[in-house]
Structure 1
Amino acid sequence: MSSAGTSGGLKRLIRIDVISDTICPWCFVGKKRLDKAMEETKDLCNFEVRWHPYMLDPSLPKEGRDKNEFHRRKFGSRLQAVVDNIDQAFQSVGYRFGSGGLIGNSLDSHRLIELAGRQGLDKQNAVVENLMIKCLTQQKCVSDREVLLSVAESAGIEGAKEWIDNPNAGLKEVQAKMEKYAHTISGVPHFKINDKYEMSGAQAPQTFIEIFKQASQDEE
């Protein structure tokens, strides 16, 4: 995508930074709603989306924990209502929430997203999409090496095996970003648009659309 001004009918470039965690259901809902908003305004704007790391629970083990038990401990008697609410949101974007399986430490997934970003934003977006689908709808464990390699292969990521197998690859960069966001945001998903507009939570498509329209009129 190349930058364009608004004069002469040229489309304006909208830069979107998304802070998210691959094990976060609402991050997936937020992503799909963002996708819909971008699709509906593609004649008005070009988009450049970058994904940034956040870990909701760094204490999760790499081998994973039972997802139902993890959520039961977190939500207690509210568990079923929480799961039903998430599933309803997933259905609104064309998916069903996979509440079973294992939930694992998301650090390696963020390292893979870091690698993908170095090879192109489209590849990075594909990795984020596929990781979330596998983890949140297909009940795969996001820390599973084979899941990570499968996602990397489907997105055409070069050098993924060596990267994933080296626990230090991209670690410093990912940790620095997570440290930054730990002090600047209160939760995920968090969206920053053109370094000017910010919002947290799985916003409705129309909310994004209104901001895109406003941003397209801002002076550069």
Structure 2
Amino acid sequence: MTETRLSVDIYSDIACPWCYIGKRRFEKAVSALPFGDKVDVKWHAFQLDPALPEHYEGSEIDYLVQAKGMPADQVAGMLEHVTTQAAAEGLDYDFDSLHVANSFTALRLLALAKERELGDQMKEALLSAHFEQGINTGSVEALQQIADTVGLDPAESAQVLAGDKYTDEVRADSVRARELGVTGVPFFVLENKYGISGAQPSEVFEQALGQVWQEIGGDSLQMLGTPSTDGETCGPEGCN
């Protein structure tokens, strides 16, 4: 008899502050469920700004003001709000030290880690490096160090970082996200049927996972193709 397991596909970017918060809230929900060890998570790439230079000369505030056209006071208020929400989940965001960088290479490295069954560990390491540790996640040298810490084969990760391997996989994730109607991240897909948009409270994740696990209550979940905007997300135009 095949063991029942619940699949969750999560679309996110390592440069998305709400994605790290959403990860923590989702993990809290899973840990509270009696079937939490039967929830299978798979990470998918959703790059928020493909046009961002490999290394951006400026701060996070500069980037959001100049690149996204957001007023400086709005940016400051948004970052303060995000930092407070992150702290409530045990995360120590440091936007003053953050290096703004194109995330594509990091997402390719994450694709390798997924193949080696180290996807969650790599996702955690990349998010922490970017938002908490002030590490330049656009730097090949920094990414190599992260890969070594996670446990990837140094030669294999170096080969990925030096070339363009997993480019197709990262782009395919973005295409699939658009097909699902994803416009902001994090976005959670349960059993390839139900979608949850944003860094929802843990209770929302817990309820949804429980409903899907029991195969009831589908009417109260969001069908794919009609993403909700109730939860906080980051999109190509910025974060809310």
Match of 1:98 in 2: 94
TM-score (norm 2): 0.81
Structure 1 ranges of 4+ moved more than 4 A? 42-45
1:114 shift after superposition: 0.7
SS of the residue 1:102 aligns to? coil
CA spacing shift, 1:21–1:65, aligned 2, 3 Å: farther
The answer for the alignment partner of 1:161 in structure 2 is 158
One-letter amino acid matched to 2:151: G
What is aligned with 1:119? 116
**Structure 2 partner of 1:4:** 3
Which secondary structure state, in structure 1, belongs to the residue aligned with residue 6 of structure 2? strand
Matches within 5 A, 1:45-194: 46-66=38-58, 67-73=60-66, 74=68, 75-76=70-71, 77-100=73-96, 101-120=98-117, 123-158=118-153, 159-166=156-163, 168-183=164-179, 184-194=181-191
Deviations 1:125-184, CA, capped at 9 Å, x for gaps? 000001000101112222111221122111111210111111x20111211221232342
Residue deviations 1:167-203 (CA, integer Å, cap 9, x gap): x201112112212323421110000011122011101
Could you give the per-residue CA deviations for residues 22-65 of structure 1, whole angstroms, max 9, x where no partner exists? 00000000001111111111445511111101111111111233
CA contact under 8 A between 1:64 and 1:141: conserved in structure 2? no
Structure 1: give runs of 5+ residues left out of the alignment.
Answer: 6-12
The whole-number CA distance in structure 2 between the counterparts of 1:190 and 1:140 is 25
* Counterpart selection for 2:21 from 29, 41, 63: 29
**Residue identity opposite 2:146 in structure 1:** V
Counterpart CA distance in 2 for 1:42 and 1:125 is 21
Counting aligned pairs with the same residue, the percent is 25
Q: CA RMSD in A?
A: 1.6
TM-score between both structures, scaled by the size of structure 1: 0.88
CA contact (8 A) 1:135 1:141 kept: yes
Query: Mean alpha-carbon deviation: is it higher for 205-214 or for 70-79?
Result: 70-79
What code does the residue aligned with 1:4 have? E
Shift of 1:217: 1.0
Match of 1:208 in 2: 205
Deviations 1:76-133 (A, max 9, x none): 131221011101111011122211232100000110111111111xx10000001000
